[in-house]
Structure 1
Amino acid sequence: MKSSILAPIAMLLSAAIAGTPDNPENMTPCLLKCNQEAAKQVGCGTYLNIECTCPSDPFVLALNTCLSAHCDAADVKMSKDLHVKICHGNPV
């Protein structure tokens, strides 16, 4: 009986660690909002469109402007780390 209780909990924890389809990197709410807004602002549609966002200086500018205005230092660091990981480049 215990295993039937633990299986749903394990599934929830796995989903939380892996993120969701609209937030695969498990970003904080503030970082996610800034990424979404920056992508829309520069015409990429979604931040998941890395072919558009990764090489886009206007995206990086819009993202950093939002982060500076609304998020904390941990969000800024996570943003830089994710950019390197996802875009295979230097931090923004």
Structure 2
Amino acid sequence: MTKSEWSDQIQDMELIQRLSDISPLLREACEELIEAIENPSNFTFYDLARRTDNLLGYHAHISKMLHAAIAGEALLGEPAFTIHSDTKD
């Protein structure tokens, strides 16, 4: 692995970690994906693909919620909801 590839992977891991702070379900999917990346010998390509699909599914769901909140905020003139980061572990 080149230095550039390693740097890209670290940045991807940091992004995954930041995404995991949004929701407990998203956090769980991120943790599973990180585990599969860090221990590739313990997982098949199918396992990794399933974990990636889970993460993308949660991301899409959260994205839809945020778009709905933005639209509601524009119509109502006030925030539709507030996202709180739950970092208690």
TM-score by length of 1: 0.33
Q: Relative to total residues, which structure has the larger helix share, 1 or 2?
A: 2
Bigger RCO of structures 1 and 2 (CA < 8 A, at least 6 apart): 2
TM-score (norm 2): 0.34
